[in-house]
Structure 1
Amino acid sequence: MVDEAGIIVRHNPALLRMFGMEGQDLTGRVCNEVFGAQTGEVVTRSREAAEMTSVVLHEVLATRPDGSQFPAEITVSSVPLSGGAIQVCILRDVTVAKKAEQEREQSRALLERMVAERTRDLSRTNTQLKIEVAERKVVGDALRRAEGKYRGIFENSMEGIFQISPEGRYISANPAMANIFGYDTSEDLMGVLSELSPYLEPSRRDVFLSTMEETGQVRDFESQVRRRDGSVIWISENARKVVDSTGQTLCFEGFLSDITLRKQAEDRLMHQAFHDALTGLPNRLLFMDHLRMAMERARRRPDFRFAVLYMDLDRFKVINDSLGHDIGDQLLRHVASVLTTCARCTDTVARFGGDEFAILLEDITAPRDAISFSRRILEDISKPLALDGREVMTSGSLGIVLRTEHYERPEALLRDADTAMYHAKAQGKSRFKVFNQKMHTRALETMETEVALRRALDMTQGLDELVLLFQPILDIRQRRLAGFEVLLRWRRDDGRVMLPGEFIPLAEETGIIFPLDYWVFAQACCSIRKFEQALDAHPSASRAGFATNVNISAKHFRNPMLVGHLEQTVRNCGVDPRSIALEITENVLLDNVSSATEVAARIRELGLGLCIDDFGTGYSSLSYIQRFSVDAIKIDRDFVAGLGRLSDEGGSEAIVKTLVTLSAGLHLKVVAEGVETRAQLAYLTGLGCQYAQGYLFAPALSEAEALRLINEGATEDWPAYPDLPEA
């Protein structure tokens, strides 16, 4: 019990036990201090509330002296007394009740949560069931549509679709497969194919079934099969193995296509890849393959002999250009027919392109077989042939390789046959040559010479191997220097000096002649400018009639850029063009006359002179000399060397006399080359020949030596002019 001041007036032992204060007396102590602030506050509020009601019930957290708290229920009732009101407070420890209540609350919450979750699960399950029902309906509809679709594909596919048992018996086949095999219905097809293998090779069915069983599938299984009518076609099969849940094979299913057209196209492409389109002969690839096999056969069999022939038609380009490509093609087909007719079935005749053919003669008994074959085809090819109403004649040059045992590579063997063919062409065409090692050595030397010449002409190399020399040309009437002929020498790095005749043909063949002649002309112009300056500086010398001859290849007369290059060089060097004469050979007059005439006319317009070198050794006519407006001709040294001999001993007095007389009548300057004896000089002087050059006067000189001659007055009087023998 507590008075109005909150002081404990009386208490029972149970209160002490509840608060763990057994044996203590709480009377007179303030309630807040003993039971804690919360309990004291509740008692105070309850006293105020009790004035309006008789009983007040509260729940508090009571605090024991050790600081621990426990839930308590306080019932406060106000009792009025004479000395004032007393609050009777009854405290009950509700820890157990609270715990039970809490457990009940937790159980209730758990139950509510479980009910809610189960409700949600049921709701989801219901929704899922509705979805599954809808999906089953959709799937069912889709399956029905797919079945209809794939049934349509099965029935209407252009490819054959089939199912066969592991034993090879057909279970199903679509109409397309029946059509591919030539049957009216799938049932007819399955009935026949289940009993008889359609494969052309009987083992193919076993291969197909074993492959399916081992790997579970086949891809692009290509085979030849026989149709109902007996015709043979190509098919390609793709299939897979179908198994049950235990892995046992149920069946094989797949599809097949008719690939006959593709196979035919592949065969055509293969044929085109290895055969010439024009003649139908094997091409280089197939020939090289046959040659490689022949070489391997020869290694295995010492008694096996073979020969390789390489043929090129003579003058085919002339026929092609003049009569047209149609005639040229007909001629090539005719040659191919001749070669095929002459060859045996074991031989290989190939066309390499253009007018080049190769023949592989296999299993010959002796080299004479190849020689006889070569003679026969050369004879047959050279026979006149009528093509589109025109008579056409051609011939061939053949190269033969007989000794084939030392070759390791077919390319080397064919190379040597080609080399022998070029030797046959060089010796007059319409013949054959058998290859020997000397030919190969010469071919290597030619290649090395070409490389060295290109390197020598490359100014960036700074080799200075190409040098110009100047051979004096004398006016033998006035006994003075009348000019020079520029001569080219090639001083090789091994010390050997090569004359133009040793490398100019190679330069013309390889195209090096164009930059080479341009270089020679430019260097000559620089020297000629120095000659002009020396002549101008000499008080008694005159440029009149003084000219320097520069040789130029006939190849340039097909080049329209020649004149422009010459003009630019003359202008750059500051040379008087009248002091330069170009020496050309007679074949310029015969090769492409119209083009050469035009170029010659432009050269004359430029002011340069034209001189025909080695006149009388070719086939030129006097009309060509007039057409080209030639200034001079040079009598070949062989004619000069024949002076003083009898005609039956190679004498040439009549020829030289005729040339001198002819030149005088045409007002041409005539120069005799190669004058080496006084007798020759005397004879030329007696004929009235005005100009000559040769070792009798001086060898070819360097530029410095040539300048010294001019400075010493040789243009007025040649020093130490040879005395002529008395008549």
Structure 2
Amino acid sequence: MNQSFTSLGIYSGLGFGLFLALLGAFVWRIDLINQRRKVRNKKFKSVFEELQDANFRSEQLNAELAREVEQRRLASTVFEAASEGIVILDPTYKMLTVNQAFSRISGYAVAELVGRRVDELACSRDARRHFPIIQASLAEHDSWLGELVETRKNGELYPQWLQLKVVRDDAAQVSHIVAFITDLSARRIVEARVRHLTHFDELTGLANRLLFKERLEEANQRVRQGTSRNLALLHIDLDRFKLLNDSLGPELADQVLQKIAERLTKALPEADTISRLSSDEFAVLFDAYGSLTSLARVATRLMGKLSRPIVVDGHELVVSASMGISLLPDGARDIAQLVSQANKAMQQAKHMGGGTFQFFSHSLQHSTLERLQLENQLRKAIRERKLSVFYQPKLCLKTGRLDAAEALVRWDHPELGSVSPSDFIALAEETGLIVLIGEFVLREACRQAAQWQQSGLAPIRVSVNLSGHQLRQGNLVSLVRQVLEDTGLAPQCLELEITESQLLENVDYVIATFQQLHELGVKLAIDDFGTGYSSLSYLKRFAVDYVKIDQTFIRGVGTCVEDDAITKAIIAMAHSLELKVVAEGVENEVQLAFLKEHQCDEVQGYLISSPTNAQAMADLLRAGVAIW
């Protein structure tokens, strides 16, 4: 039994050993399989990574290809859309491709250009002369740029800016030549336009101030170098052009200036330069004038041509001019003095009434300085209230009593004494000081008239002269209203006078202004009637109350048949329009009797009384004695 157990143990041990051996073999097999699987997985991973890398490289290549395609497409678009011409040539100057811009510039179709050498096309003499130079520059520097005069297909010459660039391959051999071509025609037109605008007046086509200054300097140099003997400068200023501009408007005024420029050009073919200096100022330069006599003839001829009527948009206008003439070296020492003297002479011509010319002289210079000093002194007198108001009474012929007075400004200069109104009123008009003087007289006259009433005197009508400047200010109605309120004077005690010639400066505006003043209650009068240019038909359009006959007609009444007839006609016409008539400048009994006989309403003049101060005027009013 023990042997049996022993045999069983042996067999059990063998079986267990066999089991272990089989188990070991199985584990080894499993491990072998795992090892092989690891090797295979590693190979698969390596292959997968290689595939991924290949795919990435493929995507990169595709992206680069797409970019290259896009860049080529963009380059092609730019090539065709470029505003300048582009031509690609081979080393023999055969055109491989051209863009549409060069086709337009040259006039050739693209098909006519591709495959042809550039020297087979029609080219200008200038381009042919430059061709060897261009070839040498490309060989030495790989580039050339410059301006040529080239020929289009139709034979037209045009300015061209050409830029050439050599392209070399890896072996440093010339593979292509790229040409960039710009048509300079439009640029040249713009540059010419700019040059013209820089030196010429756009409206008239005359030389402008800049070009005139250059020509003047050049002429002066010729005089200094002895190649020219002398210079003459004419400074021309149109008379009352601002009034014309305000009345017609800027467009029609510009047409007038253009016609004036045409007349200057046609009338002065011998002039070296004709220039427009400003709105209505012109200058004419004569290089080496003949003599003073010849200059005077030229100026006289020019004045005649300028004063001829100009028709603009159905308006017939007469435009006069004032002209000043200065000479170098006979009068002026340098250019600045020449210009200054011509301007002073022109101003003197204006002082003389315009429509004439003046040569500069040293006595004229002295007169100009005196006038400048007088202007400064007048400004000071206005500022320091050194002006005064005198009053000239008006006699009512129906009652024989003094019922009105005209306010007149006076200037008592501390050194010059009493300055004549004819001297400083014209100066005030030219400088614009008349506006300040006019307001002063208006305020003082209204204040004084109110004061006379407050002192117990019977109310009288005080008349104040208006200037064209005051009318154009645009605030006349509000100023009159304010002055009446400030002084307490009744509106019907104020009369405003305007000269007949001023009525036409701006008819519609004057009518509207007069209507407002009339509604305010202020009396209105037309002064110097019969001396202006207005038609009698205008008279009924203005809301006026009085017509003043100018003293030039009154001077001859009773002794001159023509003056008698004119005066009677004015009185009859005014009365038919229900206007009252005032005669000024009455100096003798004959005139007075004639005016009374023909039913003139009021008179004023030295026969009645000379202008007097406020106190003397009050004494006359206080006396209250009728003339008859």
Q: State TM-score, norm by structure 1.
A: 0.57
- Asked whether the 8 Å contact 2:124–2:149 carries over to 1, the reply is no
Structure 2 residue identity aligned to 1:486: A
Give, in angstroms, the shift of residue 488 of structure 1: 1.8
Q: Distance in 1 between matches of 2:305 and 2:252?
A: 18
Instruction: Deviation per CA, 1:218-241: give whole Å up to 9, x if none.
Output: 88x544334465432222345678
When structure 1 is superposed on structure 2, of 483-492 and 127-136 the one drifting more is 127-136
- Asked whether the 8 Å contact 1:580–1:609 carries over to 2, the reply is yes
- Asked whether the 8 Å contact 1:309–1:360 carries over to 2, the reply is yes
Aligned pair partner of 1:514 in 435, 444, 458: 435
Give, in angstroms, the shift of residue 501 of structure 1: 2.7
- Asked whether the 8 Å contact 2:89–2:178 carries over to 1, the reply is yes
Gaps of 5+ in 1: 1-126, 536-541
Percent of aligned pairs with the same residue?
27
User: Paired residue for 1:716?
Assistant: 623
Q: Distance in 2 between matches of 1:264 and 1:683?
A: 74
1:397 aligns with 2:325: no
Aligned to 1:403, the other structure's residue is in SS state strand
Aligned pair partner of 1:700 in 612, 615, 626: 612
1:580 aligns with 2:494: yes
Gaps of 5+ in 2: 1-51
Give, in angstroms, the shift of residue 549 of structure 1: 3.4
1:529 aligns with 2:443: no
User: Paired residue for 1:224?
Assistant: 149
Q: Distance in 2 between matches of 1:204 and 1:285?
A: 42
Give, in angstroms, the shift of residue 403 of structure 1: 0.5
Aligned to 1:514, the other structure's residue is in SS state helix
Structure 2 residue identity aligned to 1:464: R
- Asked whether the 8 Å contact 1:522–1:569 carries over to 2, the reply is yes
- Note closer, same or farther for the CA distance 1:609–1:284 as it changes in structure 2 (3 Å cut): same
- Asked whether the 8 Å contact 1:563–1:603 carries over to 2, the reply is yes
When structure 1 is superposed on structure 2, of 204-213 and 589-598 the one drifting more is 204-213
Q: Distance in 2 between matches of 1:561 and 1:391?
A: 29
- Asked whether the 8 Å contact 2:307–2:319 carries over to 1, the reply is yes
- Asked whether the 8 Å contact 1:313–1:394 carries over to 2, the reply is no
Give, in angstroms, the shift of residue 522 of structure 1: 1.6
Structure 2 residue identity aligned to 1:466: L
Question: Equivalent residues in 2 for 1:249-268 (5 A)?
Answer: 255-268=180-193
Give the structure with the higher percent helix: 2
Structure 1 residue identity aligned to 2:286: L
- Asked whether the 8 Å contact 2:526–2:547 carries over to 1, the reply is yes
- Asked whether the 8 Å contact 2:391–2:408 carries over to 1, the reply is yes
- Note closer, same or farther for the CA distance 1:446–1:521 as it changes in structure 2 (3 Å cut): same
Give, in angstroms, the shift of residue 660 of structure 1: 14
User: Paired residue for 1:40?
Assistant: none
Aligned to 1:303, the other structure's residue is in SS state coil
Structure 1 residue identity aligned to 2:479: H
Q: Distance in 2 between matches of 1:714 and 1:635?
A: 25
User: Paired residue for 1:76?
Assistant: none
Question: Equivalent residues in 2 for 1:305-344 (5 A)?
Answer: 305-311=230-236, 336-344=261-269
User: Paired residue for 2:116?
Assistant: 188
Q: Distance in 2 between matches of 1:156 and 1:696?
A: 94
Give, in angstroms, the shift of residue 304 of structure 1: 4.1
- Asked whether the 8 Å contact 2:138–2:165 carries over to 1, the reply is no
- Note closer, same or farther for the CA distance 1:189–1:158 as it changes in structure 2 (3 Å cut): farther
User: Paired residue for 2:467?
Assistant: 553
Give, in angstroms, the shift of residue 543 of structure 1: 0.8
Aligned pair partner of 2:273 in 329, 340, 348: 348
Instruction: Deviation per CA, 1:312-361: give whole Å up to 9, x if none.
Output: 56788999999999987776655555544454487334455766554433
Q: Distance in 1 between matches of 2:624 and 2:73?
A: 118
Give, in angstroms, the shift of residue 715 of structure 1: 0.8
Structure 2 residue identity aligned to 1:503: F
Instruction: Deviation per CA, 1:437-474: give whole Å up to 9, x if none.
Output: 5556655665665566556555xxxx223333445667
User: Paired residue for 2:220?
Assistant: 295
Q: Which has the larger radius of gyration?
A: 1
User: Paired residue for 1:464?
Assistant: 385
- Note closer, same or farther for the CA distance 1:654–1:371 as it changes in structure 2 (3 Å cut): closer
Q: Distance in 2 between matches of 1:340 and 1:518?
A: 45
User: Paired residue for 1:25?
Assistant: none
Q: Distance in 1 between matches of 2:241 and 2:465?
A: 31
Q: Distance in 1 between matches of 2:508 and 2:129?
A: 74
Give, in angstroms, the shift of residue 303 of structure 1: 2.8
- Note closer, same or farther for the CA distance 1:276–1:601 as it changes in structure 2 (3 Å cut): closer
Q: Distance in 2 between matches of 1:379 and 1:481?
A: 49
Structure 2 residue identity aligned to 1:268: R
Q: Distance in 2 between matches of 1:173 and 1:441?
A: 82
Give, in angstroms, the shift of residue 497 of structure 1: 4.8
Q: Distance in 1 between matches of 2:206 and 2:107?
A: 37
Q: Distance in 2 between matches of 1:387 and 1:606?
A: 38
- Asked whether the 8 Å contact 2:553–2:567 carries over to 1, the reply is no
Give, in angstroms, the shift of residue 258 of structure 1: 1.8
- Note closer, same or farther for the CA distance 1:134–1:387 as it changes in structure 2 (3 Å cut): closer
The root-mean-square deviation of aligned C-alpha atoms, in Å, is: 6.0
Give, in angstroms, the shift of residue 377 of structure 1: 4.5
Q: Distance in 1 between matches of 2:256 and 2:71?
A: 66
Question: Equivalent residues in 2 for 1:71-470 (5 A)?
Answer: 142=67, 146=71, 150=75, 159-161=84-86, 170=93, 174-176=97-99, 179=103, 180-181=105-106, 184-185=112-113, 187-191=115-119, 199=126, 202=129, 221-227=146-152, 230-238=155-163, 255-277=180-202, 279-301=204-226, 303-311=228-236, 336-344=261-269, 347-351=272-276, 357-379=282-304, 394=318, 396-397=320-321, 399-405=323-329, 406=332, 408-409=334-335, 413=338, 417=342, 420-421=345-346, 423-424=348-349, 427=352, 431-437=356-362, 453=378, 457=382, 463-470=384-391
Aligned to 1:582, the other structure's residue is in SS state strand
User: Paired residue for 2:421?
Assistant: 500
Higher relative contact order (CA closer than 8 Å, sequence separation 6+): 2
Aligned to 2:458, the other structure's residue is in SS state coil
User: Paired residue for 2:458?
Assistant: 543
Instruction: Deviation per CA, 1:507-545: give whole Å up to 9, x if none.
Output: 33454433432232122222222222112xxxxxx415x
Give, in angstroms, the shift of residue 575 of structure 1: 1.7
Instruction: Deviation per CA, 1:571-591: give whole Å up to 9, x if none.
Output: 221123344333444445666
Structure 1 residue identity aligned to 2:214: D
- Note closer, same or farther for the CA distance 1:450–1:128 as it changes in structure 2 (3 Å cut): farther
Q: Distance in 2 between matches of 1:287 and 1:381?
A: 21
- Note closer, same or farther for the CA distance 1:200–1:607 as it changes in structure 2 (3 Å cut): same
- Note closer, same or farther for the CA distance 1:517–1:157 as it changes in structure 2 (3 Å cut): closer
Structure 2 residue identity aligned to 1:259: L
Q: Distance in 2 between matches of 1:161 and 1:303?
A: 54
- Note closer, same or farther for the CA distance 1:153–1:351 as it changes in structure 2 (3 Å cut): same
Give, in angstroms, the shift of residue 134 of structure 1: 8.0
User: Paired residue for 1:52?
Assistant: none
Instruction: Deviation per CA, 1:558-606: give whole Å up to 9, x if none.
Output: 6774344323321221123344333444445666666656655654554
Aligned to 2:328, the other structure's residue is in SS state coil
- Asked whether the 8 Å contact 1:223–1:236 carries over to 2, the reply is yes
Instruction: Deviation per CA, 1:68-120: give whole Å up to 9, x if none.
Output: xxxxxxxxxxxxxxxxxxxxxxxxxxxxxxxxxxxxxxxxxxxxxxxxxxxxx
- Note closer, same or farther for the CA distance 1:173–1:191 as it changes in structure 2 (3 Å cut): farther
- Note closer, same or farther for the CA distance 1:294–1:192 as it changes in structure 2 (3 Å cut): farther
Aligned to 1:715, the other structure's residue is in SS state helix
Instruction: Deviation per CA, 1:635-675: give whole Å up to 9, x if none.
Output: 749967x89xx96xxx9998699789969x96957576586
Q: State TM-score, norm by structure 2.
A: 0.65
Aligned to 1:505, the other structure's residue is in SS state helix
